Amino acid sequence: MERNQMLIEAEELLTKLGDGNIRIYDASIVDDMYQQGHIPGAAFFDHEKFSDPDKAYEYMLLPDEELAARIGEVGISNDTEVIVYACGMLPYAARAWWVLRYAGHKNVRVLNGGLSAWKNAGGTVEQLPRRYEPAVFHPEFSPGMFADKEDVMEALKDSNISVVDVLPLESYEGAHITGSTCLSAMDLMQGLDYFLPDEKLALRLQEKAGYSRIITYCGGGIAAVINAMAHLMTGQENVAVYDGSLFEWMGEGLPITGTGKWEIWKQPSQ
């Protein structure tokens, strides 16, 4: 998938502001950031409302029918152009992108650089909360974009599939899925706001280029999307995010390797 199909730069978004067909969402994990200042007209993308309250682990995706209904409820139809961004934490916007693409929305992009890029480009902010009128969304799900624990267990038996922990190396050393490797999402971003340029992403991901499938995971299924999106940008289309990630894997008592310094990995789960 081409980079410009996945990301939008602030300068381009400035030219689109006011277009009645655009839906902009602040996907910061807490609405305090949204209330402090957001792109004019942007609504709040509440990750909790897209997460299954019946699951034992945080931020696991809603069942398909409920997810499609929720997408419509927040004002997204199949025909709208959707822009998602976050304030100082690109993985939150990436997670929103992944969820919408999984459900079949074909025209959704992440604002590269988030709110800081918007401000640097001369964009203004507002504090007034916004909502879009509900719409009808017809889903076309892509099941391969998410993996469950059974998928991961099977993948670990297949040398053609790479299961990748995207948390920092210290976290990986503290606890990781036995048999997985480590490639920190931090190595694919400039700070926590921007994806690296394509050529740098390709260089960082070159060791994974030969695998037929990649499954990424983190603590709670959010940071893992950074690596998954980066793989898509560099030509690896067969990528999945393990939705339950370490919270579920450890909660279910599945095989873990590490030093046991749990405090290292618990913090950066998003």
Q: What is the C-alpha separation between 24 and 114, in angstroms, rounded?
A: 12
**CA separation (Å) from 190 to 9, 139, 253?**
14, 33, 35
- Answer whether 174's CB lies under 8 Å from 219's CB: no
Catalytic residue among 60, 99, 215, 218: 218
DSSP run (H or E) holding 231: helix 224-233
Q: What is the C-alpha separation between 192 and 238, in angstroms, rounded?
A: 25
* 3-class secondary structure, 25: strand
The one-character DSSP state at 58 is T
Q: What is the C-alpha separation between 22 and 17, in angstroms, rounded?
A: 8
Q: What are phi and psi of 232, to 5 degrees?
A: -60, -45
- Nearest-CA neighbor of 254 among 265, 245, 262? 245
* Lookup: tokens for 25: 């969402």
Judge whether 218 counts as a catalytic residue.
Answer: yes
Region class of 212: left (phi > 0), else alpha (psi between -120 and 50), else beta: alpha
What is the Cα 186 distance to its own chain's centre?
A: 14
- Answer whether 58's CB lies under 8 Å from 220's CB: yes
Q: Report the catalytic residues.
A: 218
